[in-house]
Structure 1
Amino acid sequence: MVPSFIMHTMTELKQAIEEIVEKHLPDENHFIVEVKMSEKSGKKLLNILLDADEGVTIRACAKLSRAVSEELEAKEMMPEAYILEVSSPGLDFPLSSRRQFQKNINRELKISLTSGEEIEGKLLEVSETGVKLLVKKKKEKGKKATEEEISLPFEEMKKSIVQVSFK
């Protein structure tokens, strides 16, 4: 029998690992943001970013880490020493899925567009094709700032970051 770690490409290995992670998610509330493989100090680093509609706990990360590690070992998918990290994306990690946008409705976002323009506004709505933001329009001298709803398609967004407010 040929060990499963003899895979044709890194893409196939990553896809197989994503399937294992998906199978071991704690519940339907949790979802994968990213599975990334890289090198760190000469060892393979397998980084799994986990998110949830109501937040990720350390317990959920630990449980997923144990289950994924056990299955990777049992199937001999990682031929050499590796480091497995399971965590939630940090505040500065760009939103990458509709589900992440959905959980951040009513929060302030800073969106970099493919045109190079940056827009900040309150996330009001998420659709199949994009988002709706409430954006403050600059005020003219002597006038109050106004707010305007704008729609942005996902394909025009390069990067979207949730803005932290300390108000």
Structure 2
Amino acid sequence: MSSSVVKTTEELVKPIVEEKNLELVDVEYVKEGKNWFLRVYIDKDGGVDISECGEVSELLSSKLDETDPIKDPYFLEVSSPGVERPLKSKSDFASNINKNVYVKLYEPINGDKEYQGTLLKFTNDIATIEYKVKTQKKQVDIPFDKIAKARLAVVL
């Protein structure tokens, strides 16, 4: 059920964000405790502000009320993805070269299923990440279809 809610929400919100020159980053429909949350993450160069999130929330809320795709009570949240924004598409990878990323894989490469480091390049659907093992720098090539989850990562 949650995948159909996500798909319907994406279809409803895409024209709204495109009209406002924003980017739809992600949609989640998750249960936390006894409550359901429909979360929509939007962004643009330089980030989004609270008024933009509010406008998208109001417009989307009206569309959701019209189509009524969700039978259970839920909370709608529209926000920025934050500094650890998810990387979902190939274009997300291509536009985040030289940034720090965290990648979790479906199956191990070189014995590891998780890597954090600098995304050096994304060519022919392969992400090349430079990471450190103690004091040594190493590189790994990860095919896009082997990536289960990825996001930008904050380095402290």
The correspondence of residues 6-25 of structure 1 with structure 2, limited to 5 A, is 11-25=3-17
CA 1:110 to 1:79, structure 2 compared with 1: closer, same or farther past 3 Å? closer
The answer to whether the 8 A contact 1:29-1:54 is kept is: no
CA 1:11 to 1:94, structure 2 compared with 1: closer, same or farther past 3 Å? closer
CA 1:157 to 1:67, structure 2 compared with 1: closer, same or farther past 3 Å? same
The answer to whether the 8 A contact 2:16-2:59 is kept is: yes
1:156 aligns with 2:152: no
CA 1:53 to 1:152, structure 2 compared with 1: closer, same or farther past 3 Å? farther
1:119 aligns with 2:111: no
The unaligned stretches of length 5 or more in structure 1 are 1-8, 140-144
- How far off is 1:160 after superposition? 2.7
CA 1:162 to 1:78, structure 2 compared with 1: closer, same or farther past 3 Å? closer
Counterpart-to-counterpart distance in 2, 1:79 and 1:155 = 34
Identity of aligned residues (%): 28
The answer to whether the 8 A contact 1:29-1:53 is kept is: no
Greater helix share, structure number: 2
Counterpart-to-counterpart distance in 2, 1:12 and 1:159 = 20
Counterpart-to-counterpart distance in 1, 2:31 and 2:82 = 21
RMSD over aligned Cα, in angstroms?
3.1
The count of corresponding residues between Structure 1 and Structure 2 is 152
The DSSP-based 3-state class of the residue aligned with 1:16 is helix
The answer to whether the 8 A contact 2:84-2:154 is kept is: no
Counterpart-to-counterpart distance in 1, 2:69 and 2:77 = 16
Letter in 2 for 1:96: K
Question: Residue 127 of structure 2 corresponds to which residue in structure 1?
Answer: 131
Aligned counterpart for 2:25 among listed residues 21, 33, 40: 33
The answer to whether the 8 A contact 1:91-1:161 is kept is: no
The answer to whether the 8 A contact 2:53-2:78 is kept is: yes
The DSSP-based 3-state class of the residue aligned with 1:24 is helix
TM-score, structure 2 normalization: 0.72
Counterpart-to-counterpart distance in 1, 2:152 and 2:19 = 25
The DSSP-based 3-state class of the residue aligned with 1:25 is helix
The answer to whether the 8 A contact 2:131-2:138 is kept is: yes
TM-score, structure 1 normalization: 0.68
The answer to whether the 8 A contact 1:32-1:50 is kept is: yes
The answer to whether the 8 A contact 2:129-2:139 is kept is: yes
